[in-house]
Amino acid sequence: MRQGQNQHTQPPSHEAPPCRPCFSEPIDPELAALFHELSLTLFALMDPADADILARAEIRHQTAAQIASRIGCSNTEASRRLAHARRCFCRLAAKSLACGP
């Protein structure tokens, strides 16, 4: 490798980019209702413990520390379980897209 090559490059970030809507206009009420129905269906298909943790974080806006306190585990365990619940929800959403017409 030549001297100075890759001198100013940053290592790739392993953090996920923030979730943000891909639209700037208000959501159509019918589309919002479809999203809501799909979300409820996906929550119903999840393991109840995973669904509870995900709802606490995403709907009730509880922190990992608050979740840990409520369910009786460490902050690390609550964070791990939340990440697992998010992956499960995303997998179900992806599977629902693959089952389309």
What is the predicted pLDDT for the residue at 14?
59
The model's pTM is 0.69
1: in domain: no
What is the predicted pLDDT for the residue at 35?
87
* Listed residue (84, 83, 97, 93) closest to 43, CA to CA: 93
15: in domain: no
4: in domain: no
19: in domain: no
What is the predicted pLDDT for the residue at 1?
46
72: in domain: yes
Cα 41 from Cα 95, distance rounded (Å): 13
29: in domain: no
Residues 6+ apart with CB under 8 A from 27: 35
Beta strands in 21-91 (DSSP E): none
Count of the separate structural domains present in the chain: 1
Those residues of the chain that have pLDDT short of 70 are 1-26, 100-101
**Which H or E element spans position 56?**
helix 48-58
Residue 94 belongs to domain spanning: 45-98
39: in domain: no
The CA dihedral of 20, 26, 29, 30, to the nearest 10 degrees, is -60
Burial of 54 per CB tally in 10 Å (0-12, 13-18, 19+) = buried
70: in domain: yes
* Listed residue (64, 72, 2, 99) closest to 56, CA to CA: 64
